[in-house]
Structure 1
Amino acid sequence: MKILLITLEYLPQIGGIASYITNTIKHWPNDNDSFVVCAPKIDDEADFDAKNFWPVYRLEPYFNLIRPRWLKLFWSVFKIVKKEKPDMIFVHHVLPIGQIARLIKKFKKIPYVVFLHGLDYGYAQTNLVKKKRLTGVLSEAQTVVVNSNYLRQRVANQFSALASKTVVVYPCSGYSDVKIDPIKLEEMKKKFNPAGRPVLLTCGRLVARKGVDMVIKSLPAIIKSRPDLLYLVGGQGKCRAELMYLARRLGMENHIKFIGFVDDSDLPYLYSLADIFVMPARQEDNGDIEGFGIVLMEASLFGLPVIAGNTGGQPEAVENGQTGILVDPMDTGQISLSVLKLLQDKELAQRLGRNGQEKAKRFIWSKELKKIFK
């Protein structure tokens, strides 16, 4: 079977969806199947695409003036369908890509599977027109794949008829086979933490939902007890400048390092040099929410105790008191107390880290992906 996968987020763009997609292809359980990817143009795409064994079509998805703007992407995808003759379409970003797949199904009789991640589902319900389009796309999908039971319940509450064809495919770590090179680890420590300070780590897109601002606001209270603490923030995003300004305004420049872009090959080493991973993600007014939080599972795989938000699908990635600590993402007091608790109680931190590692090892991509066509 040839699968055409269409997405608006794809590596080397940083983010959970882009990582989810790449791992889906790399760990696909049927070697007889093949993938073709349609994704937006992005800087450094050529180097990344050349490293992979599946073809990638890089497209400009939108018209500037013609409405609907996604019609440009439809025509491009339609040409690719005629050329590649796929047997199945995988849809990431239910709108507008779901509409494109629905039209292609009408003209070419090609079935499609919709993957919902969280923000995309919320965005598709911001007005009545989008809700109507969402209903049509999901009703005609062969399968609806969600990344958490939390999201499955949201879909079931709104579309009870979809329950029988909705499956949960949990994101898994792509680093289960990584072997840490001790020489490189020492080099990373010298680069980011030469003084050997206790390290708090966040990695991900720097957008409001991730809660980095609340961690920064928690630092003054933490620093009073642990003045040697270092907070490493890895990733890029639209909130970076705002977060850097916040750190300066609070006088935390000596306690925060903004690393910027983190290559996939370096991420395991950041997990390995950190003491605690923190990402108290929250729900935004526009519906943006953490559907699961793959970085939480990745951090657990490397034995880190995790502090996460108690919203969205995060409680499925982090078991409160067992693999980490769940906090109110808007409560700096809870965040600071949780950090200090883990720094002061080494036995607790190690126990949560061990439990999290055991849990993360049970999440295997090939096993999860088999659920799609059961």
Structure 2
Amino acid sequence: MIDVKSGSRPTKDIFVFLEVFSGEGGIQSYVKDILRTYGNLVSSNKARTADIFLLRDSRGCINPLDDRPLAKPSPLTFYYLQTQPLWLGRIRLAATLLIQLLRERPDRVFCGHINLAPLIRILCEPLGIPYTVLTYGKEVWDPLPKLHRDALQQAQSIWTISRYSRDLACRANQLDPQKFQLLPCAIQGQLFTAGPKPPHLIAKYGLEDSKVLMTVARLWSGDIYKGVDVTIRSLPKLLQKFPDVKYLAIGRGDDRPRLEKLAKDLGVADRVIFAGFVPDEELPDHYRVADAYIMP
């Protein structure tokens, strides 16, 4: 997927994303893993570097991968392009990216979202620069607008997280399955290990003597397919057979008030704990609290 080769002149890659460090979510976590792994791969081989363009991230966001103030230079250079109004940010991205393409003639451009693919195609094709489009899931499962579909079809390669996602995207948008490269989601195995339930979290959430179901997801009204509401609706029946069950929902978003009302209306508000946002470094302990992870 990414060939790390030696040579006298460093090879440049360019990544372009909507947003990585200003919000939380599955895509953001996945992209951070990609960038972290890329940096690790090339840090010992100065033959390859990358420029990272971030449309909706600002310079003030917390980016643990941007270590330019440190003595050791990073192979990753970040460009924060958040601008108001949003349409002006896209113009700024297009202009900055075009200048960089003309100046650097990168080996490849990695387009981090289907909504950016038409722009990447317009800029890259006349210059003969190959581009790869990163896809994640449901954003490519249904028929796309023509500009987006054409940009996918003309990409040299497409990354996706699973065969399931690849097959749905191909059927919906007439894509060549041979163009796809699978890049599954992964975890840091040395961090997410089995262990006893942490007593401080049991006490914090009132989970003593409980069987715990858990979901980690953004509670966003535009992304309800994670099934938090489905789980809440199932609790009345579950409690008839398993009276000690509680449901721990980790994440924040604008859908939380609706979900809280749903739990109250069903009479299970005392069985649903909305934990809110939990930092990545605290997630392993939270997973140890759960008896079962659920995402119907």
> Do the aligned partners of residues 34 and 192 (structure 1) sit closer, same or farther apart at CA in structure 2, a change above 3 Å counting?
farther
Work out whether 1:140 is the aligned partner of 2:140.
no
Distance in 1 (CA, whole Å) between partners of 2:121 and 2:164 is 26
> Do the aligned partners of residues 4 and 229 (structure 1) sit closer, same or farther apart at CA in structure 2, a change above 3 Å counting?
same
> Do the aligned partners of residues 123 and 150 (structure 1) sit closer, same or farther apart at CA in structure 2, a change above 3 Å counting?
closer
Work out whether 1:212 is the aligned partner of 2:232.
no
CA contact (8 A) 1:9 1:17 kept: no
The residue that corresponds to 2:6 in the other structure is none
| CA-CA distance at 1:81 after TM superposition | 4.3
The one-letter code sitting in structure 1 at the alignment partner of 2:110 is: F
The one-letter code sitting in structure 1 at the alignment partner of 2:236 is: P
CA contact (8 A) 1:59 1:76 kept: no
Distance in 2 (CA, whole Å) between partners of 1:244 and 1:44 is 33
The one-letter code sitting in structure 2 at the alignment partner of 1:60 is: Q
Counterpart mapping for 1:47-86 below 5 A = 48=64, 50=66, 53=74, 54-60=76-82, 63=85, 70-81=90-101, 86=106
The one-letter code sitting in structure 2 at the alignment partner of 1:87 is: D
Counterpart mapping for 1:112-127 below 5 A = 112-122=131-141, 125=144
| CA-CA distance at 1:194 after TM superposition | 5.0
Work out whether 1:226 is the aligned partner of 2:242.
yes
The residue that corresponds to 2:291 in the other structure is 275
Distance in 2 (CA, whole Å) between partners of 1:44 and 1:193 is 36
CA contact (8 A) 2:124 2:131 kept: yes
Q: Which has the higher contact order (CA 8 A, sep 6+)?
A: 1
| CA-CA distance at 1:202 after TM superposition | 0.3
The residue that corresponds to 1:238 in the other structure is 254
Work out the percentage of aligned pairs sharing the same amino acid: 26
Work out whether 1:11 is the aligned partner of 2:21.
yes
The residue that corresponds to 1:356 in the other structure is none
Counterpart mapping for 1:1-374 below 5 A = 1-28=11-38, 30-31=41-42, 32=45, 33-39=48-54, 40-41=56-57, 45-46=61-62, 48=64, 50=66, 53=74, 54-60=76-82, 63=85, 70-81=90-101, 86-95=106-115, 97-122=116-141, 125=144, 130=145, 132-158=146-172, 162-173=176-187, 175-178=188-191, 185-193=198-206, 195-206=208-219, 207-280=223-296
| CA-CA distance at 1:107 after TM superposition | 4.6
TM-score of the pair, normalised by structure 2: 0.79
Distance in 1 (CA, whole Å) between partners of 2:246 and 2:262 is 16
Distance in 2 (CA, whole Å) between partners of 1:198 and 1:218 is 15
1:257 partner SS: strand
CA contact (8 A) 1:116 1:144 kept: yes
CA contact (8 A) 1:233 1:257 kept: yes
TM-score of the pair, normalised by structure 1: 0.64
1:109-130 Cα offsets, whole Å, 9 max, x none, are 32210111123214762xxxx2
| CA-CA distance at 1:84 after TM superposition | 6.2
1:242 partner SS: helix
CA contact (8 A) 1:13 1:42 kept: no
1:246-266 Cα offsets, whole Å, 9 max, x none, are 112222221111111111111
1:279 partner SS: coil
2:97 partner SS: helix
- Please list every run of 5 or more consecutive structure 2 residues that lacks an aligned counterpart in the other structure: 1-10, 69-73
Higher helix share: 1
- Range that drifts further, 21-30 or 212-221: 21-30
**How big is the alpha-carbon RMSD for the aligned residues of Structure 1 and Structure 2?**
3.0
| CA-CA distance at 1:139 after TM superposition | 2.6
1:34 partner SS: strand
> Do the aligned partners of residues 147 and 240 (structure 1) sit closer, same or farther apart at CA in structure 2, a change above 3 Å counting?
same
1:150-186 Cα offsets, whole Å, 9 max, x none, are 222223335556232222222122x212176979933
CA contact (8 A) 1:63 1:70 kept: no
Distance in 2 (CA, whole Å) between partners of 1:210 and 1:64 is 28
